[in-house]
Amino acid sequence: MEEKVYTTPLGDIHYWIQWKGKDAQTLVFLPGLTADHRLFDKQIEYFANKANLFVWDAPGHASSYPFSLRFSMDDEARWLMAILRENGFSNFVLVGQSLGGYIGQVFTQLFPGALQGFVAIDSAPLQRCYITKAELWLLKRMEPVYRYLPWQWLLKQGTRGVATTEYGRKLMRSMMLVYDGDQPRYAALSGHGFRMLAEAIETNRPYSLTCPVLLICGTKDQAGSCRRYAKAWHKKTGFPLVWIEKAGHNSNTDAPAQVNSCIERLMNSARKNT
């Protein structure tokens, strides 16, 4: 993977790409909040010879810092498209984990028809009808929670709460340790991410997905109401939902082989639909 940098008025975005050719499918991997590009290491390894690849440290995360937290999810989606176009990518299959899945839905709203396929890993729909008023209220007020809870407690819960396997937990711990010694940065980043999510939901856009879609969720996902959202999303839309047994919120790190197989099937389905 080649590391590159995209400059915005608010800071630099670091991303990694692999190019196989203009006619190859492109897998776009978007990590969740406070995670970085390493979240998809097992996917990058598996698909290295099968597709063009893209993964980033989202704005404000890991290498993409310093970065002013004055951007919206619309901004992220537009920067993402600018980067993809700058590198000649097309035939996008977007794979978003948690917050990455939300950014993917904003991407489809701003660039209808751009995606060949969409995979949501332990994520949820952005339509207003799925979320309660209480949940929306809480999303806007998370920064103080992350600012004042003991860091060692956050580190423990952030590690054990999102993964069930030793690999998944060690990886999440290493990604959280990027912010070790700077809890205010971690709190600000987390709070900003949740506020962006609330604001995107409040726009009450349709966030329609017209390409092949696959929903993936760990049966042990304990992050918020992800399992409830996944069930409701599947029931309302009919999008296929794959439950990953004994996996947590980062199910692609707990069961990489199964998740990779699911992504590959979606890629094949997307290719047939073009």
State the pairing for strand pair 52-56/11-18: antiparallel
Domain spans of the chain, in order of start: 2-129+204-272
Q: What is the Cα–Cα distance from 170 to 93, expressed in whole angstroms? A: 28
Which two structure tokens, joined as six digits, stand for 68?
């002013």
Please indicate, yes or no, whether the overall pTM of this predicted structure exceeds 0.95: yes
pLDDT of 272 reads 80
pLDDT one-digit tens code per residue, 75-116: 999 999 999 999 999 999 999 999 999 999 999 999 999 999
pLDDT one-digit tens code per residue, 37-67: 999 999 999 999 999 999 999 999 999 999 9
CATH of 2-129+204-272, one of 1.10.3720.10, 3.40.50.1820, 3.90.1530.30, 3.40.47.10: 3.40.50.1820
pLDDT of 225 reads 87
The secondary element (H helix, E strand) that includes residue 44 is helix 41-46
Secondary structure of 82-96 as H, E, C letters: HHHHHCCCCCEEEEE
pLDDT one-digit tens code per residue, 208-246: 999 999 999 999 998 878 999 999 999 999 999 999 999
Q: What is the Cα–Cα distance from 92 to 102, expressed in whole angstroms? A: 16
- Whether the per-residue pLDDT at 273 is higher than 90: the answer is no
Q: What is the Cα–Cα distance from 202 to 274, expressed in whole angstroms? A: 33
Quick check: 120 and 96 in contact, CB under 8 A?
Answer: yes
Rounded mean pLDDT of the chain?
96
